[in-house]
Amino acid sequence: MIEIDRLTKRYGATLVVEDVSFNVEEGTLTVVVGTSGAGKSTLLRMINRLVEPSAGRVLIDGEDTRTIPEDELRHRIGYVIQGYGLFPHRNVADNIATVPRLLRWDRKRIAQRVEELLDLFQLDPAEFAHKFPHELSGGQQQRVGVARALAARPALLLMDEPFGALDAVIRSKAQDDLIAIQRRLGATIVLVTHDMNEAFHLGDRIAVMDQARLLQYATPAELLMRPADDFVERLVGTVERPFRLLSLTPVREALEAGHAEGEPIAASESLHDALSRLLWTGRKALPVADSSGAIIGRVSVDKILQHGRPLP
């Protein structure tokens, strides 16, 4: 568990981060979201001490980060930034091997780990290991950046606008890949973004920051239904709210008994997707299938619409 405890950063008279506290559970993905200049990057950089806090502390599994030598701390925390900062003079394999080399892993173990990560990120080792960063597409560079950050199995992964340099199509694929990898590795991730859609898409919990302060730290659904103040409500987007809520709810939640015609939809998909399918096909209901493909009931437009508003 990562405990952020009353973190404050002051540059002269300017408060950049003011008294921010929240806990990140192991194996979850927390998104810090806010407008630019809200202090979210500074908050992130205080976790691996690229920025020294003016006050407050960070505990990783109960251990105060100030008691760990800076470089050693950073070997244990993965770090991905916008633009990735890949080393242009080193090939993909050498880039990924950066932290294992700093930790003096033996050659064979490093080679194994690099191959494993390239496979995990769907980059064929034979093709990509010896390429240089400028020979890669934006999406491939992004994957190498994340692979490099994960190389030494860090306890925590910090990501600062990791999808900011990607175009829309590649970005949503990269986001889905990140979720898949996070689930698979059980990694703990803190990710900074200014994009609310990204926050809702990725976050198990979302921390909303504005003007150096933490306004609300909650699950996406709570944020939609019980915004802490007007700013959060506006940031969440009043018009988009019902659709975001539907995106967060699986079909399973609106399951009802009965029969329906048409192609079945998986119980794990979102109500947003189910509604979209219903609108497009002009039907009133769809059959619902479980993971084995067996029909377990149906989902109807009326039932879906009930989920698109806050609970009474």
The reply to whether 81 sits near other proteins by the rule CB under 8 A is: yes
Q: Is 167 exposed, middle or buried (0-12, 13-18, 19+ CB in 10 A)?
A: exposed
The reply to whether 127 sits near other proteins by the rule CB under 8 A is: no
The reply to whether 91 sits near other proteins by the rule CB under 8 A is: yes
Min separation Cβ 45 and other proteins, Å: 8
Min separation Cβ 12 and other proteins, Å: 18
Q: Which two tokens stand for residue 197?
A: 């859609």
Closest to other proteins by CB, 178 or 218: 178
Which positions from 40 to 79 touch other proteins by CB under 8 A, shown as an x/- string? --------x-x-------------------xxxxxx---x
Q: Which two tokens stand for residue 176?
A: 């889905």
**Binds other proteins (CB under 8 A): choice among 89, 108, 184, 259:** 89
Instruction: Give which of 117, 107, 197 is closest to 154, Cα–Cα.
Output: 117
Q: Which two tokens stand for residue 185?
A: 């590795």
**Binds other proteins (CB under 8 A): choice among 8, 57, 59, 83:** 83
Min separation Cβ 134 and other proteins, Å: 4
| Interacting residues with other proteins between 148 and 167 (CB under 8 A) | 148-149, 158
Alpha helices, H only, 129-167: 138-150
Beta-strand (E) ranges in 118-199? Answer: 156-160, 189-193
Q: How far apart are CA 25 and CA 61, in angstroms?
A: 10
Contact 296, 265 (CB under 8 A): no
Place of tokens 């699986």: 250
Q: Is 192 exposed, middle or buried (0-12, 13-18, 19+ CB in 10 A)?
A: buried
Range in contact with other proteins (rule: CB under 8 A) among 18-26, 95-103, 245-253, 270-278: 95-103
Interface positions with other proteins (CB under 8 A): 48, 50, 70-75, 79, 81-89, 91, 98-99, 102, 132, 134, 145, 148-149, 158
